Amino acid sequence: MIEIESRIKHAAVDDTLRAAASALWKRHALTLFDPHDERNGLRVSDAGQCVRKLYNLVNGTIVDTFSPEVQLDNLDNGTMVGCWRACLLAASLEADGFVVEMEPTVEHDGTPGHIDLYFHEPEWTKDLGEAAVIEFKSTNWTGALDHPEKSKRYQILQAAKYAAAKGCDDFAIVTVGPAARGAKMRVDWFSLGDWQHAVIGEWLRLSAALGPVEPDGDPDFAWRCKGCAVEWCDKNPEYAATDELLVKRLEASVNARI
């Protein structure tokens, strides 16, 4: 296994590697905030998502919306922090002769996605040699860094599916936190062999979102219901059984059958 944390930290202060990372950043940051392609099915990043919400996204009944706080402080911050650390790691790996792909588009069993970083040994080694998928996640909860047992299952399933798409066994999740004390980054390695059955089970569960009937909501965390655009779901904190919402639900159900 490569040493991820020490490579990133070294590249952050080494003039040559930092310049190489900066060049990568200028190339890859250009597309950081491009909108997603139009949704017409599942994505790898849907791991852990509620099937009822997905059903409505896939059928165009709702569009994903976030509060400004979630967008700015979680999603946008996480995207930028993750990309910069990926650039530092990529610069370090490339300097040692590894082949690195950043944000490659992949497809596994018909489900598309984008990997943060994938690397393998050079082609002349005849096989991929050391190869892995690396995903970068940010968190505002410092406890995430201190408690590896609280690794988010949906993040592992997402990264495992990317590893399956690339045909490599190893994958890692780099969690970057705002810790005011101690380490601000944690690296957890996983093996696809340990997770492939869970990946199959997860995408079987998610396939209910592609069926003709609106499934029941099954969020893995209650926070997924907060601000959910499926206003007619009784698990939604904004839910109120008004006639208007019942009509919306009926329309969604009819539209999905057309």
Binding residues vs ligand SF4 (CB under 6 A): 50, 52-53, 217, 219, 224-225, 228, 230, 233, 235-236
CB of 120 to ligand SF4, least distance (A): 37
Instruction: Pick between residue 52 and residue 166 the one whose CB is nearest to ligand SF4.
Output: 52
Rounded to a whole number of angstroms, the minimum distance from the CB of residue 222 to ligand SF4 is 8
Q: Say how many CA atoms lie within 13 Å of 145 toward its Cβ.
A: 17
Distance in Å, CB of 53 to ligand SF4, minimum: 4
In the block, tokens 């996983």 appear at 190
CB of 235 to ligand SF4, least distance (A): 4
Q: Is 61 helix (H, G, I), strand (E, B) or coil?
A: coil
Task: Closer to ligand SF4 by CB, 116 or 214: give it.
Answer: 214
Nearer to ligand SF4, 59 or 175 (CB): 59
Q: Which is nearer to ligand SF4, 177 or 217 (CB)?
A: 217
How large is the C-alpha radius of gyration of the chain? 20
Residue with Cβ nearer ligand SF4 (88 or 230) = 230
The distance of closest approach from Cβ of residue 238 to ligand SF4 in the complex, given in angstroms and rounded to an integer, is: 8
**β-sheet bridge partners, residue 190:** 171
At 29, is the secondary structure helix, strand, or coil?
Answer: helix
Give the tokens for residue 18: 């930092």
- DSSP lists the bridge partners of residue 105 as 114
Q: What is the largest CA-CA distance in the chain?
A: 66
Instruction: Return the bridge partners of 120, or none.
Output: 99, 131
Check the CA dihedral 231-235-236-238 and report its sign. Answer: positive
Closest distance of CB 68 from ligand SF4, Å: 20
Please classify residue 28 by burial: count the beta carbons closer than 10 Å to its beta carbon, then call 0-12 exposed, 13-18 middle and 19+ buried: middle
Minimum gap (Å) between residue 84 Cβ and ligand SF4: 31
Contact 117, 90 (CB under 8 A): yes
**Which CB sits closer to ligand SF4, 31 or 207?**
207
Map tokens 């569009």 to a residue.
Answer: 63
Of 177 and 219, CB closest to ligand SF4: 219
3-state secondary structure string across 89-157: HHHHHHHCCCEEEECCEEEECCEEEECCEEEECCHHHCCCCCEEEEEEEECCCCHHHHCHHHCCHHHHH
